[in-house]
Structure 1
Amino acid sequence: MSEIFIPPLKKRIKKEINVPSDKSITHRALLLSSISKGKSQIFNPLISEDTKRTINLVKELGAKVDIGANKWVVTPPKSFNVDFDFYSGNSGTTTRISSGLLASIDGHFTILGDASLSQRPMKRIIEPLSEMGAKISCENYKLPMTIIGGNLRGIDYWLKIPSAQVKSSIMFAALRATGKTTIRGAINSRNHTEIMFKNSGVDIEINDNYIEITPSLPTSLNYRIPGDFSSAAYFIAMGLISKKVDLIIKSVNLNKTRTGMFQVLEKMNAKFEIKNFKNDIEPIGDIVPVFSNMINLKNIDENLIPFMIDEIPILVLIQSQSEGRVIFKNLSELRRKETDRINALVQNFEKIGVKIEELNDGFIVEGPQEIKGGEINSFNDHRISMTFAIAGLISKEGIKIKNSNCVDVSFPNFFEIIKGFFS
């Protein structure tokens, strides 16, 4: 079991920070490259425990992945390996999106996961993939899960929840199905898969009401991965709530389906600048947060939740340091993440002297509150670990984080950057 102590920050610091590359996009680029018509190049990819799972998966399928210092070259197989067991570790993205790809291949595949992933719901992908013709078996809709794929048919599917993973799973399955696939309903979530499909020659139509895919294989990819907004969020928070830091967070993905937190912060009177903006395949720019006297909103707009679901833990910390009372609702999805994040946040905030009320689907937070410090448990959830590391920097006595190395799934050098604040 790893643990780390984060002391309160005493001196003023000024730093430029490079956050890891976007995890969501790295997963998708690897998977799409493995079924493309030619060799692909992925620049500035994320190497983390989660993306290593996806690398292993495409290798199991028969793809070749040449890993360089800042570039991966993926050569798709001439024919797929069609019978293997695969271990996804803690990566829900690997599991759910690859299930759609595997379902499209005439083969027999079993996906396994660690203890946490094995408790996460898979019914949401099993239903549409089964409707397309995949044969999927598991117990209580949880891993391990066996997929017998091939001979899929296109469907007209109403997406019930705004999940980019579910949407992407169906989209990957649609590439090799017979007939068009149309996805309607709650399609307004992260759109990295749509952007990637559109920029790699897939026959796709996108509008506000539906996504329609005609079976087609992508051409080779030539993709540069921007910095991950979800990783940048911790340092955005630090810049907003601490007078002791001047930070520039470099080359971050500013896709509007990822930056719902910005819309909330703007309404709270938070101050930040965007510099060196560039509208590439995905928009990128440098983020400069400025210490702000923020005012809590009474309620968080539930329409923004899909665009900031991973940022909720750090946003709760920000709002514990802002003026007023706020109610978070419609967050039941947080109970189905790497851990029950609602309960984990409530338990840990109480341990460090911050009052927070737990609701069935959210929280009630009032601020500003002083953070005393203490010892918390990450519950092996990277976003819990990183949130309370930032809390430690602004606390009175510091915070000890148990099971801190879970950050390796998305941000392997996170604590190295934190330690650099003290050097």
Structure 2
Amino acid sequence: MEYVHINPAKLNGKINVPSSKSICHRAIICASLGDGVSNLENISFSRDIYATCNAVENLGVKIYRGKSNLTVKGNPRLTVKNPYINCGQSGSTLRFLVPIAAAIDEKIIFTGGGKLIDRPLDVYYDIFDNQKIYYKNFNGKLPLILKGKLKPGDYEVRGDISSQFITGLLFVLPILDGDSSVNLTTALESRPYVDITLDVLKKFGIKVCEDGLKRYVVRGRQKYESSDYRVEGDFSQAAFWLVMGALGNGIVCCGLKKDSLQGDRMIVDILKKMGVKVKWTGNSLIAMPSDRIYGSTIDASQCPDLVPVLAALASVSCGTTEIKNAGRLRIKESDRLKAISSELNKIGGHVLEKEDGLLIRGRERLAGGEVDSWDDHRIAMSLASVSSRCLNPMTIKGAECVKKSYPGFWKDFMILGGNIL
């Protein structure tokens, strides 16, 4: 659907939260590198997850898809069946698989669409230059042509651009024919994503030693083991429903893990700080109707994906909210700082865009009206999350972009009482 027209309504009910997209990517890649069959359960199929599945199949991996599961017959030798790997708009697919492809020593061509074409890969290009691995791009953009043989060694990598580069290296270094290390030259932002990587690697038999906060030591010649693995619920997707529950009549989010390593579990503490009534019941997280929600200061360095929905919530809260350390959001599927501030302001919000964050003065109600998703799934879902606080209907242009991460979002929205005209 190109547009959704939402009549303001308070949502209520129970929802099974989709599985973590971040963990799904990692489990599929680890299973693909294993020598045997892995069974992955609780898979939520989105465009990004399909992109990773298709990519590893091009590298000789066999995948059998069920309704909500995958059976993966790994191929640790990685044979190129199709050199053209289309990553769609998935940054994880691209950045996780580029270093793996660089270890195969066959010509591989990475393509993609949307903003992914422009997403920086300079961290890898520096490594390829140092190791004299052939690559070619088009003025720094995709497609990327790659052919080389990645060597073990000591890798110097910035930690403040994207944790995806560190994860990509941690996938491939264990299977090289010598020991390696990843040495961070800056502080690591989005550290929880690397923690997730280490946890999934461990489940598939790979050992990585974390030496302090800025060094990872990786023994070479390791072998990935096949594994049966169940993916937990996604806190970044739950965040939309938690906000809608707080602004509505309460929503129960099922399938979450209380002690999860996901950085976006911070949504619980942030919401509580803002006055939202949130509580755990087993593996379910409940957001109850909250009459008074207050502005707050939010450090987004470890939870960047939460910024759009928190900005939306802040726009209908009491007082002022400052979101800081969010500059990396400018190179996501959209410039998310500009996108969410522009669209909230269109419907009556008061959001000031700063270089690396947002300053938001809350209002009791928004006016409603037409907004644009910027072809960004998180922008579309964040705008929908405050539709109940609009005086008039909200029309979201480009609503189909939710298929990137959550194809069933609009269906679930209506099941919980959302009124799509």
2:411 aligns with one of 397, 406, 416: 416
* Aligned equivalents of 2:177, 2:79: Cα separation in 1: 21
* Aligned equivalents of 2:127, 2:271: Cα separation in 1: 36
Trace 1:199-238 onto structure 2 (pairs within 5 A). Answer: 199-206=203-210, 208-209=212-213, 210-215=215-220, 216-238=222-244
Three-state SS of the structure 2 residue aligned to 1:300 is strand
Does residue 404 of structure 1 match 2:409?
no
Residue type at the aligned position of 1:410? S
Q: Which moved more, 1:152-161 or 1:403-412?
A: 152-161
Residues 35 and 75, structure 2, Cα contact 8 Å, conserved in 1: no
Three-state SS of the structure 1 residue aligned to 2:255 is strand
Aligned to 2:339: 344
Instruction: Report sequence identity in percent.
Output: 28
Aligned to 1:43: 41
Residues 137 and 147, structure 1, Cα contact 8 Å, conserved in 2: yes
Residues 260 and 308, structure 1, Cα contact 8 Å, conserved in 2: yes
* Aligned equivalents of 2:76, 2:31: Cα separation in 1: 13
* Aligned equivalents of 2:13, 2:267: Cα separation in 1: 22
Residue type at the aligned position of 1:161? D
- Post-superposition shift, 1:217? 2.0
Residues 133 and 153, structure 1, Cα contact 8 Å, conserved in 2: no
* Aligned equivalents of 1:122, 1:205: Cα separation in 2: 25
Aligned to 1:146: 145
Residue type at the aligned position of 1:333? R
Count residues in correspondence.
Answer: 407
Trace 1:1-400 onto structure 2 (pairs within 5 A). Answer: 2-9=2-9, 14-77=12-75, 79-82=77-80, 84-128=83-127, 130-131=129-130, 134-161=133-160, 163-185=162-184, 186-187=187-188, 188-190=191-193, 191-206=195-210, 208-209=212-213, 210-215=215-220, 216-240=222-246, 242=247, 244-253=248-257, 254-276=260-282, 285-292=283-290, 293-297=292-296, 299-301=297-299, 305-400=300-395
* Aligned equivalents of 2:264, 2:417: Cα separation in 1: 31
* Aligned equivalents of 1:363, 1:332: Cα separation in 2: 10
* Aligned equivalents of 1:180, 1:294: Cα separation in 2: 51
- Post-superposition shift, 1:295? 2.3
Say if 1:264 and 1:421 are closer, same or farther in 2 by CA, change over 3 A.
closer
Q: Which moved more, 1:375-384 or 1:163-172?
A: 163-172
Say if 1:204 and 1:418 are closer, same or farther in 2 by CA, change over 3 A.
same
- Post-superposition shift, 1:132? 5.6
Q: Which moved more, 1:30-39 or 1:247-256?
A: 247-256
Three-state SS of the structure 2 residue aligned to 1:258 is helix
* Aligned equivalents of 1:31, 1:129: Cα separation in 2: 22
Aligned to 1:281: none
- Post-superposition shift, 1:195? 0.3
TM-score calculated relative to the size of structure 1: 0.90
Residues 344 and 351, structure 2, Cα contact 8 Å, conserved in 1: yes
Three-state SS of the structure 2 residue aligned to 1:343 is helix
- Post-superposition shift, 1:170? 1.3
Give the structure, 1 or 2, with the largest relative contact order (CA under 8 Å, sep 6 or more): 2
TM-score calculated relative to the size of structure 2: 0.91
- Structure 1 unpaired stretches of 5+: 277-284
Q: Which moved more, 1:155-164 or 1:85-94?
A: 155-164
Residues 331 and 361, structure 1, Cα contact 8 Å, conserved in 2: yes
- Post-superposition shift, 1:131? 4.2
Residue type at the aligned position of 2:378? R
* Aligned equivalents of 2:2, 2:332: Cα separation in 1: 21
Q: Which moved more, 1:256-265 or 1:354-363?
A: 256-265
* Aligned equivalents of 1:325, 1:352: Cα separation in 2: 18
Residues 163 and 189, structure 1, Cα contact 8 Å, conserved in 2: no
- Post-superposition shift, 1:127? 2.7
* Aligned equivalents of 1:77, 1:345: Cα separation in 2: 42
Say if 1:320 and 1:207 are closer, same or farther in 2 by CA, change over 3 A.
farther
Three-state SS of the structure 2 residue aligned to 1:259 is helix
* Aligned equivalents of 2:206, 2:72: Cα separation in 1: 18
* Aligned equivalents of 2:245, 2:211: Cα separation in 1: 37
Three-state SS of the structure 2 residue aligned to 1:189 is helix
Residue type at the aligned position of 1:214? R
Residue type at the aligned position of 1:167? I
* Aligned equivalents of 2:210, 2:123: Cα separation in 1: 22
* Aligned equivalents of 1:213, 1:267: Cα separation in 2: 39
Three-state SS of the structure 2 residue aligned to 1:326 is strand
Residues 356 and 366, structure 1, Cα contact 8 Å, conserved in 2: yes
